[in-house]
Structure 1
């Protein structure tokens, strides 16, 4: 199995924006405006794609969402979907935003993926945390998108705790593992500090993760959104308690270089694939 897409070697860099922000509980209009402002800033700074935290359009608010009922969930024909599609077109920027969704009468924890060609796609979280299983249904399919020739595999929070999730995407020639998350100051800080560099080094791919700052759903979040290199090194990381927008250039050559010295992915594929 060839784990490097030879047609991609020598391609231009990918500029990724990682948004760390605090959501207003249950207020999708206000949170969409934050998406608008941060996306505009990212586009101005040359970003090709921007990522936001898990369920950012409503905040990570399980009890509030249950009280609000299904009307709080985002559907494919929701006004917010049209807004994101138009925003992506106008800014020529791929926008990935977390949201609770209702699609085909099924509740999911999803990433909304608006692309500059005017389309909207969805990724549904496959590994639900135990407290999410009473209201949401797990997704069953991996998702990758292509931006400037770069293949980007999507994950949502707890997905990243399962090495096989990122591994499947890497074996599918993904160059970046893009994660929307909520990590708290309790165990979450330890989880993200281990999972993110591990998923990067395990698969010799870039990892980019967006977390909340402030409070959501009663959790004090730990911030520390960041980008990790294919060698597992932290390239950029936000502070713990403040909103930030990280803009990072990813170099395709770093993936090829990492795989020349770290052969876990190719050795895995030679045994198990």
Structure 2
């Protein structure tokens, strides 16, 4: 495993319900990424924006559809990995999906498990929280609203995740919520966390930007403003061990106490 990892955060404005303009911008970002970049992280549903229930059947595609295939070719040509979101059509159902794609192919697929209000009626909820090995690290993916539930990131950490990558589409007035929670998810699980949000506006929403990279000690390594921006952060992977040197939350959990407290509370309520 390398001692460092170079990640570019691509905070973009997107066009809702259309693929072509978003794909063009994604391919340009991949082609133009700085030399030495290991990974580019894009926002939620990067390729299609947020389609409506009436649009999703027209724009959604399979994981090997034309837009995803174009991204895969760009990834191979540039020799860089990407985390990218799209509206997926799978077995006649539609999902808000993010993939980790490397030059050798798809490493990890994640379908959003916690649907925000505007997802409901457009997408079905995914049913799996999974991790995969990449570049000597165990990586997990989440999407936007997912990070508001601490169990999601904890489930990935229990699987051994070292790096949490979040595609985001968070809007005003909730920007501060995700800025606080991405820090908490990194700190409470002693992992790196990178969240890339959408910028600009669409569908009557103003997106909050604020993409961020947090180390396992809960320290901010990079934070972007509200506007479109691309910036690269270097992760010092030695900080994983450093953060766990004096205490290790996963190993020191006392889950049974929570169960005992719940049982006592129930008994008290019934008495």
TM-score by length of 1: 0.88
| Larger-gyration structure (1/2) | 2
Superposed counterparts of 1:223-262, under 5 Å: 223-240=209-226, 242-262=227-247
Find the counterpart in structure 2 of residue 137 from structure 1.
124
Q: Deviations over 1:139-192 (max 9, x none)?
A: 111232333212210000011111111111111111111000111121x21211
Query: Paired residue for 1:110?
Result: 97
1:23-62 to 2 correspondence within 5 Å?
A: 23-42=14-33, 44-61=34-51
Distance 1:116 1:131 in 2: 33
Equivalent position SS for 2:86 = strand
Give me the CA root mean square deviation.
1.9
Call closer, same or farther: CA 1:267–1:121 in 2, change over 3 Å: closer
- Unaligned 5+ residue runs, structure 2? 258-271
1:23 Cα deviation from its structure 2 partner: 0.6
Where does structure 1 differ by over 4 angstroms across 4 or more consecutive aligned residues?
Answer: 269-272
Normalization by structure 2: what TM-score? 0.88
**How many equivalent residue pairs?**
257
Please give the alpha-carbon distance, in whole angstroms, between the structure 2 residues aligned to 1:204 and 1:111: 23
Gaps of at least 5 residues in structure 1 are 1-7
Q: How far off its partner does 1:113 sit?
A: 2.9
What do the CA deviations read for 1:82-101 (whole angstroms, capped 9, x no partner)? 11111111111111111111
Residues 1-273 of structure 1: pairs in structure 2 closer than 5 A: 11-42=2-33, 44-61=34-51, 65-119=52-106, 121-186=108-173, 188-240=174-226, 242-268=227-253
What do the CA deviations read for 1:31-58 (whole angstroms, capped 9, x no partner)? 111111112232x331111111111111
Higher relative contact order (CA 8 A, sep 6+): 1
Separation in 1, partners of 2:197, 2:162: 21
